[in-house]
Amino acid sequence: MIQITKFLNDNGSPFTVNIYPFISLYIDSNFPVEYVFFDGNATPVNDGGTTYTNMFDANYDSLVWALQKNGFTNMGIIVEIDYATMIRHRLEIINIGDFNLNI
């Protein structure tokens, strides 16, 4: 993975990633759904001084930290979010609308 990331970085290409903030719903049916959306209704979680109210931010920060730890401090990042996964998980269509508005 480091070799691919180095190649991208050396050629001025961004790192492209799919972030699935709702994947935790698949892993644990009791996972609080409010952490999937960006509406600010989730109870903040403090992780070493950084506060998160959604899974996207936590996942994104993890990626940025990993890139920086490996020397890729100025690499661009392109993020894709998979709506099909949300639909397969049977989230209500209104929630998908809320997700779109809040992202």
Contact 18, 59 (CB under 8 A): no
Largest CA distance in the chain: 43
Can you give the pLDDT at residue 20? 80
* Residue among 21, 23, 17 at smallest CA distance from 38: 21
Question: Which element (helix H / strand E) includes 46?
Answer: strand 45-47
27-71 pLDDT, tens digit per residue, is 887 888 888 777 778 899 999 999 999 888 999 999 999 999 999
pLDDT digits (tens, 9 = 90+) for 76-90: 999 987 655 555 555
Q: What is the pLDDT of residue 17?
A: 94
Q: 93 pLDDT exceeds 50? A: no
Whether 79 contacts 19, CB under 8 Å: yes
In terms of pTM, does the model score above 0.75?
yes
Question: Which tokens is 64 given?
Answer: 């940025």
Which residue would you say has higher pLDDT here, 51 or 23? 51
* pLDDT value, residue 88: 55
